Structure 1
Amino acid sequence: MGCCRKAPELSDKPESLQGLVFVEKVFEELGDPSRFPAVHIAGTNGKGSTAACLDSMLRAAGYRTALYTSPHLTCLGERLLVDGRMLGCEKWLDALERVSAVLKKLPEVRLGYFQALTAAAFWLIEREKVDAAVIETGLGGRLDATNMLRRPLLSVITPLGMDHMHLLGDSLSEIAAEKFGIVKPGGRALYCGGEAALNEQFRRRCAEVNAVGEIFSERCRIAGVQTSLDGNLFTYAGPQGTRRCFVRLAGLHQPENASLALRALEMISDRLPVGAGAMEKGLAEVSWPGRMEVMHRGPDVILDGAHNPHGTAALIRSLKALYGDRPLSFVYTSMADKDYAASLALYARAFPQARLFCVELEGAQRCESAEVLARTAAAFPWGGEPLAVKDPLTALKAAMALGDPVILCGSLYFVGTIRRRIKDDGWL
């Protein structure tokens, strides 16, 4: 497997307890490649942006870093960046061959795709001798392959919402239990904060494992947000003082993600001190493609990977702050197992004058058909009848011809595919 091949659609999923036992056996044979200093991040939305901010600030401070995230948008190598760059395919092949050799030695062991990839990635991180790694869970936390991290410097939990219910649970409490499962015995943990019941559940988890836990929303404040397509200017006030910051990520939710990363750095400053200048530089240079990413101006064309109602609500808040009640055009698709009806209802209520183009991904078995999406959307108010166009670029061209801002959203797989087509074809 080369590092730049597109990963299978169904690769990133939580694993069974037996599966985690299998991962542990493989890690033992690999020499336990999980001892590097790391910040471990779980959550429903925002964990990737938070991870990217952390990595950027650590690199700005001169540390050699690893950033492990999923899924990728266009190239498998994007999942593991060392010092902000993808590793060569030959290194990935070495790592995967090493994991394959272990599996041949242990015929009773079966690993899923994400488990095998994580084992290879951790082996690579260990060999790269990084000063710090920022590790994002694939899905969930408690049974996620990344939870092989024995003693992370800090466990961070970003905002929680209803997603992957068929795998993680039918309530926020059940989903939180999976996410809070990354809090380690005797470790340190930071939760962004949520409703009172979730905050109390986080405190209980920390008490059960004798971890030092902190709830961001109870210790820190964000104020004076000025948002634009270029990024966000905001004031962060935490236990170590107040600072005015700029994060080069569009989206009204990004000051919270950036501030969570700032507080995380403050909590591990005894191990990885980062000066104010490096924090400022890191946030000003951070990049996280496919999330409120501006691909074109006049009209604006924005890519965003919002794929569940929680992410949809965040995207809507950002679009309202940028465009108010201006007419918009949405080019939308969704995986069939997502609650796309709820997301479509949110878009329609927020932007009743918007035009909707429903598309689909060719060859993606999990993708809902454009016709079904359009029929579902027709139950809600729009500025015109929802259209089933199928081909994303055809829909994009039609949407741009209307002259209003165009938002391509609904699935990270979709965003990755359309982003690659736009860049490869040089269309925008």
Structure 2
Amino acid sequence: MTMTSLAHAEIEALLARLPRGYDLSLDRVRALAASLGNPHLNLPPTIHIAGTNGKGSTSAFCRAILEADEKSVHVHTSPHLVSWHERYRLGQKGEPGRLVPDDVLAEAVARAGQAVGDMPITVFEILTAVTFLLFSEHPADAAVVEVGLGGRFDATNILESPSVSVITPVSLDHQSYLGDSVELIAAEKAGIIKPGVPLVVGPQPESIAVDVITKIAARKSAPIARYGQDFFAFEEHGRLVYQDDDGLLDLPLPRLYGRHQIANAATAIAALRKGGFKPKERAIEAGMTKVEWPGRLHKITTGPLYEAVVEGGELWLDGGHNPGAGVAIAEVFADLEDKVSRPLFLICGMLNTKDPTGFFEAFHGIARRVITVPLNSTDAGIDPNELVDFALDTGLDAEAADSIEAAIRLVSAHWAVQPAPRFLICGSLYLVGEALEKSGLAPR
């Protein structure tokens, strides 16, 4: 989608007259939904997913399995990487879902914008209402709706009766909105739990998150299935073994990189089973090998950025931007180092709302050097020189560059290392989106 699309113009008009950001409350979005005919009450069976890390991957696994089971699936994710259209994937009967057509999105945004009138509301809330408009007016067998921020007061939480609620790993992020402890953040995520609706809980790095979620589920009489207690997954002999009360599955390893993707895949399988979708075993197998999630441990092998990499080198992208994501990403590159030893260089840009120290600490002893760069598509990025100081404070070597291309050239010209290096563009979805666009790999 070009940045001059009809939908982009409609959204830019909203951004010009309404707040960006988040104002966590459900009253305004409920009022807007009511003025649009309450489309959130007319959705196909829905999987509602909250969590700090792993929401997008879990959504992608759900979609891949359902589509392999010949189901049409709507998917809402946020934020986008390159185009607003990425937030809305519409299910297609008999074929994979597609990003919403530009004219369809533009019309829905215009309709929601007109319904707002003088209501004080954020653009994010309007775009969530657009999700419900699109998903209610286009038939599908299922919908996957990813929470934008938090859970309890996220605009998606006007959903009243999803088929299943899912909470992926919870860790520190968005503290200014959600609280400064895992306990408080877990309580916000658990706000999506609905009375009597099955709940699937992915692996939790801290036991306090499990305690909080379990108590809230009990209070709402929501049947709960927990990773490591009610369902399990592990790698054995190059296969993924999944087990729950319904038995054992011997599956291919997920197409997505990283040990953490085994847990994300398992969480998706449990969600589909507990939510009553009952995917066939062959569909689950196919979902493992067909799943796609751009910009997350994404190895780039074409395009001008890759061509700038020193011969024999590797170029990777990942949009993870908090300490929990840093740990998962660093673990992947530690595993790669065990297989083929290459020095790792981080090309990093971050928003000023994030925790650079916690993110960088995960790469201590793994990354050779950090090259910091600006975020060109937002004015909320940390100055690259300031980001250098954060990296230095964690014991990493670091320096600043003007762009992704300049960072690659800097390493290629001044770090004559053998074997050829790995580059990881990381720290922000804005930066990953820029890299994908420059590589001609914008999601479709």
What TM-score results when the alignment is normalised by the length of structure 1?
A: 0.90
Amino acid at match of 1:145: A
Distance 1:225 1:158, change over 3 A: farther
Gaps of 5+ in 1: 227-231
Distance 1:300 1:363, change over 3 A: closer
What's the offset of the Cα at 1:368? 0.7
Amino acid at match of 2:121: L
What's the offset of the Cα at 1:414? 0.8
243, 248, 256: which is aligned to 2:255? 248
Amino acid at match of 2:215: R
What's the offset of the Cα at 1:244? 2.3
Specify the alignment match of 2:29 in structure 1. 23
Amino acid at match of 1:85: R
What's the offset of the Cα at 1:219? 1.4
* 2:288 corresponds to 1:280: no
Amino acid at match of 2:198: R
Q: How does 1:76-95 map to 2 (within 5 A)?
A: 76-83=84-91, 84-95=97-108
Distance 1:3 1:238, change over 3 A: farther
Specify the alignment match of 2:439 in structure 1. 422
139, 155, 158: which is aligned to 2:168? 158
Q: How does 1:214-229 map to 2 (within 5 A)?
A: 214-224=225-235
Distance 1:239 1:294, change over 3 A: same
Q: Give CA-to-partner distance per residue, 1:208-230, whole Å, 9 cap, x none.
A: 2222122122112222257xxxx
Distance 1:406 1:390, change over 3 A: same
* 2:356 corresponds to 1:350: no
Q: How does 1:6-21 map to 2 (within 5 A)?
A: 13-17=21-25, 20-21=26-27
Distance 1:59 1:3, change over 3 A: farther
What's the offset of the Cα at 1:95? 0.8
Specify the alignment match of 1:331 in structure 2. 347
- Which whole-Å CA distance do the structure 2 matches of 1:423 and 1:68 have between them? 23
Specify the alignment match of 1:191 in structure 2. 201
What's the offset of the Cα at 1:101? 2.5
- Which whole-Å CA distance do the structure 2 matches of 1:12 and 1:273 have between them? 39
Specify the alignment match of 2:79 in structure 1. 71
What's the offset of the Cα at 1:412? 0.8
* 2:62 corresponds to 1:54: yes
223, 239, 248: which is aligned to 1:212? 223
What's the offset of the Cα at 1:355? 2.1
- Which whole-Å CA distance do the structure 1 matches of 2:441 and 2:216 have between them? 47
- Which whole-Å CA distance do the structure 2 matches of 1:181 and 1:392 have between them? 39
Q: Give CA-to-partner distance per residue, 1:153-198, whole Å, 9 cap, x none.
A: 0000000000111110011111011100000122111111433332
Specify the alignment match of 2:153 in structure 1. 143
The DSSP-based 3-state class of the residue aligned with 2:313 is coil
What's the offset of the Cα at 1:379? 3.0
- Which whole-Å CA distance do the structure 2 matches of 1:88 and 1:294 have between them? 28
- Which whole-Å CA distance do the structure 2 matches of 1:220 and 1:244 have between them? 14
The DSSP-based 3-state class of the residue aligned with 2:211 is helix
- Which whole-Å CA distance do the structure 2 matches of 1:68 and 1:11 have between them? 21
* 2:263 corresponds to 1:261: no
Distance 1:190 1:424, change over 3 A: closer
Specify the alignment match of 1:229 in structure 2. none
The DSSP-based 3-state class of the residue aligned with 2:156 is helix
Distance 1:363 1:302, change over 3 A: closer
The DSSP-based 3-state class of the residue aligned with 1:237 is strand
Amino acid at match of 1:173: E
* 2:410 corresponds to 1:398: yes
Distance 1:198 1:376, change over 3 A: closer
- Which whole-Å CA distance do the structure 1 matches of 2:236 and 2:346 have between them? 26
- Which whole-Å CA distance do the structure 1 matches of 2:64 and 2:441 have between them? 27
What's the offset of the Cα at 1:56? 1.2
Among all aligned residue pairs of Structure 1 and Structure 2, give the percentage whose two residues are the same amino acid: 31
Amino acid at match of 1:286: V
Amino acid at match of 1:396: I
Amino acid at match of 2:116: L
Distance 1:320 1:11, change over 3 A: farther
Instruction: Work out whether residues 349 and 428 of structure 2, in 8 Å CA contact, stay in contact via their aligned partners in 1.
Output: yes
Amino acid at match of 1:398: L
The DSSP-based 3-state class of the residue aligned with 1:247 is coil
Gaps of 5+ in 2: 92-96, 307-311
37, 49, 52: which is aligned to 1:41? 49
Instruction: Work out whether residues 316 and 350 of structure 1, in 8 Å CA contact, stay in contact via their aligned partners in 2.
Output: no
Q: Give CA-to-partner distance per residue, 1:3-49, whole Å, 9 cap, x none.
A: 457987x98854333xx111111111211111311000000000000
Instruction: Work out whether residues 186 and 211 of structure 1, in 8 Å CA contact, stay in contact via their aligned partners in 2.
Output: yes
Taking only aligned residues, the RMSD between alpha carbons, in angstroms, comes to 2.3
Q: Give CA-to-partner distance per residue, 1:56-98, whole Å, 9 cap, x none.
A: 1111111111000000111110111113211111111221122
Specify the alignment match of 2:330 in structure 1. 316
* 2:242 corresponds to 1:236: yes
Amino acid at match of 1:26: L
* 2:373 corresponds to 1:359: yes
Distance 1:179 1:76, change over 3 A: same
The DSSP-based 3-state class of the residue aligned with 2:401 is strand
- Which whole-Å CA distance do the structure 1 matches of 2:335 and 2:360 have between them? 19
- Which whole-Å CA distance do the structure 1 matches of 2:314 and 2:70 have between them? 36
What's the offset of the Cα at 1:397? 3.2
- Which whole-Å CA distance do the structure 2 matches of 1:44 and 1:12 have between them? 21
* 2:145 corresponds to 1:129: no
The size of the alignment, in residue pairs, is 409
What's the offset of the Cα at 1:268? 2.1
The DSSP-based 3-state class of the residue aligned with 1:244 is strand
381, 385, 390: which is aligned to 1:371? 385
* 2:302 corresponds to 1:292: no
166, 177, 182: which is aligned to 1:172? 182
